[in-house]
Amino acid sequence: MKTKFKDFIFLKKCFLFFFIFLLFLFLSFATDKDTLVIGSTSFNFSFDQYKYNHVKVLSINQHIFESLIYLDEIGAIKPLLAQRWINPDINTWIFYLRKDVFFHDGSRFTADDVIFSFKRVNYATDPSIIDKYNISLELKTIEKIDDFTVKIVTNYPNPTFLLKLRNCAIFPASYIEKVGFTRFLESPVGTGPYMNPIIVKENEKISSITMKRNEKYWGKKPDFKSVKFVLLDDEDTLFKQLIDQQIDILGWTSFNIFNKASNTKTIQRYATTGLRTSFLMINCKKEKNQYIDLPVNPFSDTKVRFAFYKALNIKKSVETILSSSASYANQIISPSVIGYNNSLPDDNYDLALAKTILKEANIRSFSVKIHTSILDELMRKFYQDLFENLNSIGITFEVKEIPNKELVTIKNNSSFAIVPFSLSCGNSDALFILSTLLHSKDESWGSYNNTGFINTELDKIIEEAASTFDEQKRIELYKKAIQIAYNDAVFIPLYHPNVLMLAQKWLKLKVRSDERIYAFEITK
């Protein structure tokens, strides 16, 4: 009996030592790992970040290029290449630049680089630059006071000017003048914590982007000596690579994959409230719409749009299908964004009211085709649940799934009846969505408004807000604009997706509400 007991104790000790040994190996691997590998589904990419104004493109490029300011994890404006600034009057900004910054090629960062970079994006005359309102700085003058001081005068008071600078990368003027912009994009040079990016392509598509740490970086050095972004079309493959420890982080995770990871022991799930709203865009142009079986588009009538909105039990669909991955949206901006309107109803659903409104509008039953991208099982179930009440108000619907490239095309050409879309107020201020989505479309405003929607009262409110420095007054204008958007029901808010990420448990990180992923903020 004693012998068996001794054998048991011996085996127990062996098992304990073996477990400690494995733990030691795991921790040693985590500590010694020099390359952080971040996985993502594929996307269009360019080192000229103005060509594709997308959070993934901005995330990668901001490892190489820096701006005068940056936003921290809670959205507060912090100095970066600008050490400080003053705003002596509502049109004038003076920036005092850091004197200890060098580009990756060894050249010194000066006021000349700021002026060169800002002039390129001012008024967004380059046809490759998209999202003109968001990028355009509307500069009246920009002048060099000395090598480390820049004075800017804007065309009009611009209270969110600093926020716009966040995405204005500072390029090396002398290097680009020497080698040309095409060569610069092949071998980009910035001031950031990582440098010398190497792109690998498979079948003409980017499969990875790797960059090494800038050992002469002016700021705090990142933990990892290099960072590699792995881009694949199939998120399930990325998830398997995460499980197999081939990648360390799966960024910009879908609801479906996030839920799959709930039972994995080696993977940490991260979720935080985001700044994005997912919504439906309704084409309200009066002429015949090819996806609606009436001679005139019924959605050109505000009453019909509002009835459609009231017939959707959005809150139920979000809470039962999307669960902890998203929260119900009762308006076009997130509760975390400056300008959120607390006075709007907490629930849009009122089927009886929808029927009454349609009767008043004297609209007979009709059918509509709703286009979406190719859906996974979860989102297909969500849309089926979302639209289930439409038949009861006389609207027959078909959800048509098409490749995302086609969806973007029909959206940009306004050749749709209803499509889903999403936008993020990445700088935590409502003006971005108000000016690019709700404002009527022209050269400077409404870049995402492809619905034909025009409300002159709303336009005036947005334009007034865009030049109002008093924050409280500006917020009240935001709230008025959001109330009008709610009543006009062209953009039907659905949900605010949480920012989701999966990562190996040995990593130390925080998920940013603006959806950016920066290797230099992640530690071992």
pLDDT in tens, 257-279: 999 999 899 999 999 999 999 99
406 CB-near residues (< 8 Å, 6+ apart): none
**pLDDT tens track for 186-206:** 999 999 999 999 999 999 999
User: Where are the extended beta strands (E) located within 90-138?
Assistant: 92-97
Domain with CATH 3.40.190.10 in the chain: 35-46+192-273+499-521
CATH architecture designation of domain 35-46+192-273+499-521: 3-Layer(aba) Sandwich (3.40)
**pLDDT tens track for 95-125:** 999 999 999 999 999 999 999 999 988 755 5
Domain with CATH 3.10.105.10 in the chain: 276-497
* Lowest model confidence (mean pLDDT) among 127-136, 245-254, 510-519: 127-136
Q: Rounded to whole angstroms, how far apart are CA atoms 196 and 502?
A: 27
> How far, CA to CA in Å, does 445 sit from each of 420, 431, 455?
21, 11, 13
Residue 377, amino acid: E
Helix, strand, coil percentages (3-state) for the chain, rounded to 5, are 35, 25, 40
Q: Is 323 left (phi over 0), alpha (psi -120 to 50) or beta?
A: left
% of residues, the chain, pLDDT over 70: 91
501 by DSSP, 3-state: which? Answer: strand
% of residues, the chain, pLDDT over 90: 85
> How far, CA to CA in Å, does 333 sit from each of 155, 177, 428, 430?
28, 42, 10, 7
The alpha carbon of 353 is separated from its chain's Cα centroid by a whole number of angstroms, namely 35
Strand order across the beta sheet in which 139-146 lies: 82-89, 92-97, 149-154, 139-146
Q: Rounded to whole angstroms, how far apart are CA atoms 144 and 8?
A: 79
For residues 390 and 313, the answer to whether their CB atoms sit within 8 Å is: no
Domain with CATH 3.90.76.10 in the chain: 66-177
Q: Rounded to whole angstroms, how far apart are CA atoms 303 and 488?
A: 8
For residues 501 and 522, the answer to whether their CB atoms sit within 8 Å is: no
| Per-chain mean pLDDT for the chain | 92
**pLDDT tens track for 436-450:** 999 999 988 998 999
**pLDDT tens track for 147-158:** 999 999 999 999
Fold of the domain spanning 66-177: Dipeptide-binding Protein; domain 1 (3.90.76)
Place of tokens 């304990």: 16
Mean pLDDT of 338-353: 97
- Give residue 49's pLDDT: 84
Residue 317, amino acid: S
Q: Rounded to whole angstroms, how far apart are CA atoms 82 and 94?
A: 10
Predicted TM-score (pTM) of the model is 0.89
**pLDDT tens track for 456-467:** 999 999 999 999
Burial of 300 (0-12, 13-18, 19+ CB in 10 A): middle
Give strand pairing partners of 102: 108
The CATH superfamily assigned to 276-497 is Dipeptide-binding Protein; Domain 3 (3.10.105.10)
Place of tokens 């009543």: 487
Which tokens in the block code for residue 196?
Answer: 């010398």
